[in-house]
Amino acid sequence: MSRYNRHIILSDVGQQGQDKLSRAKVLVVGAGGLGCPVLQYLAAAGIGTLGIIDFDDVDISNLQRQILFGTESLGTNKALAAKGRLEDLNPTIKIEAITNRLTFKNALSLFQNYDIIVDGTDNFATRYLINDAAIKCNKPIVYGAIYKFEGQVSVFNYNNGPSYRCLFPIPPKEGSVANCSEVGVLGVLPGIIGTMMANEVIKIILEFDHVLSGKLLCYNSRTADISTLKVNRNQSEFDNVLDYEKLTDVYENESCEVSIKDISEEELSTINNIQFIDVREPHEQPKLEMKNCIEIPLGELEGNLNLLDTDKAQVVFCQSGIRSKRAAELLMKEGFNNTFSFKGSVLAIIESQKIKTR
């Protein structure tokens, strides 16, 4: 087949290798900064079945790095938009778009259908969920994660190698480590890390030596330094997750059934008696000039519920709208039923310029 000619003429791949690729089934969790380059190269390489799971829609701020999407995809579900682009890139493969959130309930049945799971998510809760569900299903994980100018890549649960929990046994508190939408990321970085992840997927399928298992590759895009650190397997981190059902508190954020009410700036005028809650850390800028606003960082909210007036509608905001959802979820669970998460939070306010900042 001329489409894969450069693979087929490559020693160590050949027609046999290309056949392995076309028989392979790979699930990519998250079609964002990492997921896009992973999907692009895996589709081009002729991976026979590609699953894409993402519940989010394409936003204009994604286009700086999420290279499968264009202006026409704005507002479309990411898994569907990616499928559309990839079908043009390679119509000979099967692409399955899943528009739901990955949850503790659907993860096992979904993972069963694939050979390799790619972790391109943007939060710890889902990363631990992927780790635990993949161990339950005995599937290898190709992992990538980024922070500003740095990235990590590894392969977990592969040939008796370590898992994500062997590297980071204790899940960090949500909100304690910022993600891209809160601190920014240089667009090319997820491109580099995602491409390394696609490379590891292909090495696993082609049964190459030197798969990046038992090692964590750390890349710094400013210094071009690469450090590869050895990670040892800790059997107890495998035994513990076999009791998968008992670990749901870690994935709480994903499996929560409380539905969060979003409110936009325009809709604010429809509500009387509002209490605004800024759940950002004290150092985060800009501050907003608004009446009835109290500052309680997300991590301290639960211990300070007494500061809130139960007669008022609570409108929670943060920098980008991620932590405000968590805060709204917490308040709803605590019985503050008239709670809203401010859509787009401070970033949206800066853009509209209707509320003063200082």
Partner 1 sequence: MQLNIKYFGRIAEITNCNEETFEFSKATISKLLELLFAKYPELKTKDFQVAQNQEIVSLETMVSGEDLALLPPFSGG
Catalytic residues: 180, 318
Three-class SS state of 35: helix
Strand ranges across the sheet with 274-278: 262-263, 339-342, 313-317, 274-278, 293-295
DSSP 13: T
Looking at 127, 139, 280, 325, which residue binds partner 1 (CB under 8 A)? 127
Rounded least distance, CB 53 to partner 1, Å: 13
The span of 6-14, 43-51, 215-223, 252-260 binding partner 1 (CB under 8 A) equals: 215-223
**DSSP codes of every residue in 156-204:** ESSTT---HHHHS-SPPPTTSS--HHHH-B-THHHHHHHHHHHHHHHHH
Q: Is 151 in the site for partner 1 (CB under 8 A)?
A: yes
Question: Of 41, 147, 208, 244, which lies in the binding site for partner 1, with binding defined by CB under 8 A?
Answer: 147
Q: State yes or no: residue 46 binds partner 1 (CB under 8 A).
A: no
The DSSP secondary-structure symbol of 333 reads H
188 near partner 1 (CB under 8 A) = no
CB atoms within 10 A of CB 275: 20
Judged by beta carbon, residue 1 or residue 183, the one nearer partner 1 is 183
Nearer to partner 1, 251 or 340 (CB): 251
Contacts with partner 1 in 227-266 (CB under 8 A)? 227-232
Q: Check residue 144 for interaction with partner 1 (CB under 8 A).
A: yes
* Residue 112 CB neighbours (<10 A): 12
Contact between residue 93 and residue 50 where contact means Cβ atoms under 8 Å apart: yes
- Out of 2, 71, 223, 353, point to the residue binding partner 1 (CB under 8 A): 223
Nearer to partner 1, 103 or 179 (CB): 179
For 277, the 3-state DSSP assignment is strand
Binding of partner 1 at residue 34 (CB under 8 A)? yes
How far apart CA 15 and CA 4 sit, in angstroms, is 9
Instruction: Give the binding range for partner 1 (CB under 8 A) out of 86-94, 117-125, 310-318, 335-343.
Output: 117-125
How far is it, in rounded angstroms, from Cα 232 to Cα 254? 29
Angle at 121 between CA 320 and CA 7, to 5 degrees: 135
Q: According to the binding rule CB under 8 A, does residue 210 interact with partner 1?
A: no
Closest contact distance (angstroms) between CB of 128 and partner 1 is: 10
Question: What is the binding site for partner 1 (CB under 8 A)?
Answer: 30, 32-35, 119-124, 127, 144-148, 150-152, 167-168, 170, 172, 176-180, 185, 190, 216, 218, 220, 223, 225, 227-232
